[in-house]
Amino acid sequence: MKNNQGFIGKYYKIISLLIKKSFPNLRDKKIKVYEKKSLKFSADTKKSPWKLRIRTNPLLRKYSDKLLIGVFSHELCHLEAFVEQSWFEYYFLRDFKKLSDKFIKKEEEETDKKVIRKGYGYELYLQRRYRWNTKDKKIKKLKKFYISPNKIKVYAKSIGKWKTK
């Protein structure tokens, strides 16, 4: 069994490949990746003045590379958006807007669509289908904010980005 550092190393490898291929705005950014046991979702992101961060749930250790690509392409899309925002937009307006479920849902849907436009719709679909089909107390909240696996597939096909690999 790999230790925590082995998994984090695997995550960095996948993230680096994704950045090289599809996220040019993140190439020169420092990104810290670490696990957090109490994390409510598969992963989340944050921007600080000195670095970007991705926290992962230890449940990701069970994920295949395709599922990890689904997770990390979504999180990198968030980071890409954060990098483009001014200090005021990110630290003040965004924190204020996060109090609204409507804002969160819109942000997550826009992020999912960006993942699909970048060509990772199939991996996002696989990851979301996996999460949708697990017995998880948090699934109701996930379904409230994120695009369903079926809608991912429909949107990807509608824009010509549905590719099973």
* pLDDT at position 122 over 60: yes
For the entire predicted model, the pTM comes to 0.92
- How many Cβ atoms from other residues are within 10 Å of residue 129's Cβ? 17
Predicted pLDDT of residue 2? 47
Show the beta-strand stretches assigned E in 36-134. Answer: 43-47, 52-56
Percentage of the chain beyond pLDDT 70 is: 95
Q: Residue range 105-129: average pLDDT?
A: 96
* pLDDT at position 143 over 90: no
Instruction: State phi, psi for 132 to the nearest 5 degrees.
Output: -60, -30
Q: What is the pLDDT of residues 45-66, one digit of tens each?
A: 999 888 999 999 999 999 999 9
Q: Are 128 and 70 in contact (CB under 8 A)?
A: yes
Cα angle vertex 72, ends 21, 37, to 5°? 155
Predicted pLDDT of residue 1? 35
Q: What is the pLDDT of residues 54-99, one digit of tens each?
A: 999 999 999 999 999 999 999 999 999 999 988 888 888 877 777 7
Predicted pLDDT of residue 4? 63
Q: Where are the domains of the chain?
A: 4-158
Instruction: State phi, psi for 33 to the nearest 5 degrees.
Output: -120, 130
Beta strands 43-47 and 52-56, pairing class: antiparallel
Order of strands across the sheet that contains 31-35:
31-35, 52-56, 43-47
User: Which fold does the domain 4-158 belong to in CATH?
Assistant: Zincin-like (3.30.2010)
